[in-house]
Amino acid sequence: MSADTHSHPSYVKIWGILVALLVVSVCGPMLGIKVVTLITAFGIAVVKAYLVTKHFMHIDVQPRYVAYLLLSMVAFMVVLFAGVAPDVMRHDGLRWTNVAAKAEVARGGHGEAPPAHAAAAKAEAPKPQAQPVSPSEGAATFQTLCSPCHGPNGDAQGPVAAALNPKPANFTAPEFWATRDRAHIEKVIRDGGPSVGKSPLMAAFGGQLDPAALTKLVDHVMHFNKAGVAPAPSAQPR
């Protein structure tokens, strides 16, 4: 026997405790109380990890430096979190904006728009035919999909706009409408900026919108053309 042999506790008993803790960690969050969820899910995870490490891995009978080695690695993770989390958890600062993160929050909707799982459920179910779309739905879709860049008023003052180059289109500018008609707007929304030789930062939303919703969204964008400017027949978008 080598010097590092050790006694063996009742492993079945420890396994029983671990399984009981698992049951608590699953049942606790069912109460729907946030503090209870945190304690039962994550607090118990720490206890379970301790039991496995102590009794199954026998960390306590190893030379002390083994525990120090492992704890050093855990400490590195704490340093990583402390150093990076402030930038990841916030989505903008004085001179920067995390465009991708803001766009993801906007897509998720946080209750304002259909979350991704609703879109997935829609993919499973047969598409409703000629589903009625309320006039306000165009505005709601605009707020969700377009306003992060184009601004809630269509004036290109969205929270993400400052970080974009080229800047998003300003729908309130008459010169914008001097070179664009309804078909152009619909094409850009459906197929993205590159489809008309414009910025790839303007994503294609055709896959997320059924025809009725697309029409309502185009209606809403067109309503920003307050002056009723119409493009000349030969006009090309600048």
Partner 1 sequence: MQKPIATTRSATGIPTGKLAIWWVLASEIVIFGGLLVSYIMNRLGHGEWGDYAAHTNTMAGAVNTFVLLTSSLSAVLAHKAADQKDGVKAARLLRLTALGAAVFLVIKSFEWTHEIRAGYTITKNGFWAFYYTAAGLHGLHVLAGAVIMLIIAADAAKNRELQRVELIGLYWHFVDVVWIFLFPLLYIAK
Phi, psi of 196 (to 5 degrees): -120, 20
How many angstroms separate the Cα of 173 from the Cα of each of 178, 234, 237? Answer: 9, 20, 13
Min dist. Cβ of residue 231 to partner 1 (A):
37
Min dist. Cβ of residue 192 to partner 1 (A):
17
Question: To the nearest 10°, the Cα dihedral for 155, 156, 159, 160?
Answer: 170
Min dist. Cβ of residue 4 to partner 1 (A):
5
Question: Toward partner 1, which CB reaches closer, 116 or 230?
Answer: 116
Question: Toward partner 1, which CB reaches closer, 108 or 152?
Answer: 108
Report the SS3 class of residue 115. Answer: coil
Min dist. Cβ of residue 108 to partner 1 (A):
3
By CB under 8 A, name the binding residues for partner 1.
Answer: 1-5, 8, 11-12, 15, 18-19, 22, 25-26, 29, 37, 41-42, 45, 48-49, 52-53, 55-57, 62-63, 65-66, 69-70, 72-74, 76-77, 80-81, 84-85, 88-91, 101, 104-105, 107-110, 115-117, 119-121, 123-124
Question: Toward partner 1, which CB reaches closer, 95 or 117?
Answer: 117
Helices (H), 90-146: 99-108, 116-124, 135-141
Burial class for 180, CB neighbours closer than 10 Å (0-12, 13-18, 19+):
buried
How many angstroms separate the Cα of 152 from the Cα of each of 17, 37, 140, 213? Answer: 55, 37, 10, 18
Q: Determine the length of the chain.
A: 238
Min dist. Cβ of residue 62 to partner 1 (A):
6
Question: Toward partner 1, which CB reaches closer, 104 or 226?
Answer: 104
* Site of tokens 């991708």: 100
Question: Toward partner 1, which CB reaches closer, 144 or 172?
Answer: 144
Min dist. Cβ of residue 47 to partner 1 (A):
9
Question: Toward partner 1, which CB reaches closer, 107 or 187?
Answer: 107
Within 8 A by CB and 6+ apart from 151, the residues are 157, 158, 161, 168
